[in-house]
Amino acid sequence: MLRVLTLSSLFPDAGRRNFGVFVERQTLGLAARAGVAVRVVAPVGLPPWPLRLHPHYRPLAALPRRETWKGLTVERPRFTTWPGTGGRYHSAALARTLVPVLDRVRADFAFDVIDASFFFPDGPAAVTLGARYGVPVSIKARGADIHYWGYRPATAASVRDAGHRADGLLAVSAAMRADMAAIGIDPARVTVHHTGVDLDRFAPVDRAAAKARLGVSGPLVVSVGALITRKGHDVVIEAVARLPGVQLLIAGEGPERPRLAALAARLGVAHRVRLLGSVPHDDVPALIAAADVMALASASEGLANAWVEALACGTPIVITAAGGAADVVRDAAAGRIADRSPAGFAAAIAAILADPPAQEATRAGALGFTWEANAAALHAHLAALVARRT
C-alpha cells in the first residue's frame, strides 16, 4: 500500500468550490487507484488577528478543521500570513503549523511520501517536513508558483532551495520545466506531468441549442479565468470590440472586474460583453461547449485546464504562447496561438469564425489528457520516490 500525504494550499472548500479544482480532481484520481491511500492537508492562510475578522477572511476562518470532502479526509489547519512581507515568512509559518497536525495524522496514517501540489508556500514547507518524518517529497510546479513566487525577492531563494532539496519534481508542461530551469532548478530532475480532463463531462453539444439556453445568438466567444491582470481579459474585450456582432461571456471573479466593465462600456460593447462572475465548475462544460471560440490572453501560464476543457468540448481556443500552449495547440483544429494584442486576438478569432473546424476534430486534441493517465503517472512517480528510499 502506498500511503500519500497530499499537501495543497490550493484545494476547494465550501465557500470556494472552484478553488484548485484541478488539484482536487488529481487527488481523487490518485486515491481511486488500487494500492493507494491518500490523506489531504489543505492549509488555510490567514492574516493575524484582528485582520482576519475582515469579511473577506471570515468564511475561511469558519471552515471546519477536519472534514470528509468527496470521500477524502481533509485537514484544514490555519497558518499566519503576514501582510507587507512579500511572502517571506509564509513557508516557515506553514511548516510550524503543520508539525502538530502531521504528528497526529502520522499516528494512524504512516504516510510514505509527501506530494506537494503547488510550489509555494507548499514546497519549502514540504521539504522541511519530509526531513522531519524521513519521507521523500515531490513538488509540482503549475504556473504562478514559479512565474511569481520564483522571482519575488522575499521568496525566490526558498523556491529554488525547495527545488534542489525535493526528491522529485513535476511540471505541468515542458515550457514550465524550462521556466524552472531559468530560476536555477535542474531540468533533468523535472518530469512533465500533464493535467487531465473529464471527457464525459466536457464534450461537444448542439452548439445552437446551447447558445439559445444562454440567451445568445450569433458568434460567441467565451473566456474562463480569474479577473486578474495576468489573464488578459482586457485584450479579449478589445479584440471582440473589433468584431461586429460577436458576443463575449467571461466566467470568473476578481479585482479587475470594475476596470473590465468600464472598458467594455468605454468601447461601446457592454451590450456584447457579459461578466458572469464565478461560475460553478459543474456549469462550466455547458458554457464552454456553447462557444465558437474560447479565448484567454494570459501573460503567463503553466498549462491551463481551461484550454484542454475547451478542446474536449469541441471548442477551438485562441491563446498566447504562454507556458504549454504548444503542447495543446498542435494543429488548426485546436485553434490559434496569437500575439498578445487586441489586433492579434481579433485576427485569430475571426479566422476561426470564418472557417470553423469540426467539433470532433477539435476534441481529438484533448484525448491524450485524461485524469486516468494523470493519476497513473503520479502513482508511478510517487512510488518510485518511495522505492529509492528503501
pLDDT tens per residue across all 390 residues of the chain: 999 999 999 999 998 988 899 999 999 999 999 999 999 999 999 999 888 888 888 999 999 999 999 999 999 999 999 999 999 999 999 999 999 999 999 999 999 999 999 999 999 999 999 999 999 999 999 988 999 999 999 999 999 999 999 999 999 999 999 999 999 999 999 999 999 999 999 999 999 999 999 999 999 999 999 999 999 999 999 999 999 999 999 999 999 999 999 999 999 999 999 999 999 888 999 999 999 999 999 998 988 899 999 999 999 999 999 888 999 999 999 999 999 999 999 999 999 999 999 999 999 999 999 999 999 999 999 999 999 987
pTM: 0.86
DSSP 291: -
Domain assignment present for residue 219? The answer is: yes
Residues 183 and 266 in one domain: no
Residues 303 and 244 in one domain: yes
Alpha helices in 207-268 (DSSP H): 207-213, 233-241, 257-266
Mark residue 251 as left, alpha or beta (left: phi above 0; alpha: psi -120 to 50; beta: remaining).
beta
Domain assignment present for residue 202? The answer is: no
The per-residue pLDDT for 53 is 82
Residues 129 and 148 in one domain: yes
SS3 225: coil
Is residue 145 within 8 Å of residue 119, measured between CB atoms? yes
Domain assignment present for residue 167? The answer is: yes
Neighbours of 209 (CB within 10 A): 9
Domain assignment present for residue 289? The answer is: yes
Residues 47 and 27 in one domain: yes
Residues 6 and 116 in one domain: yes
Q: Domains in the chain: how many in total? A: 2
Is residue 236 within 8 Å of residue 297, measured between CB atoms? yes
Residues 65 and 96 in one domain: yes
Domain assignment present for residue 201? The answer is: no
Residues 232 and 188 in one domain: no
Residues 73 and 183 in one domain: yes
Residue 202: which residues within 8 A CB-CB, separation 6 or more? 285, 288, 289, 309, 312, 313, 366
Q: Domain span at residue 332?
A: 207-366
CATH value at residue 216: 3.40.50.2000
Domain assignment present for residue 248? The answer is: yes
Residues 179 and 285 in one domain: no
Residues 215 and 318 in one domain: yes
Alpha helices in the chain (DSSP H): 21-31, 58-61, 90-108, 122-133, 144-147, 156-165, 174-182, 207-213, 233-241, 257-266, 284-290, 305-312, 325-328, 342-354, 359-363, 371-389
Q: What residues does 169 pair with on adjacent strands? A: 139, 190
Residues 24 and 56 in one domain: yes
Domain assignment present for residue 164? The answer is: yes
Is residue 66 within 8 Å of residue 46, measured between CB atoms? no
Whether cis (ω within 30° of 0) applies to the bond prior to 50 is yes
Residues 157 and 229 in one domain: no
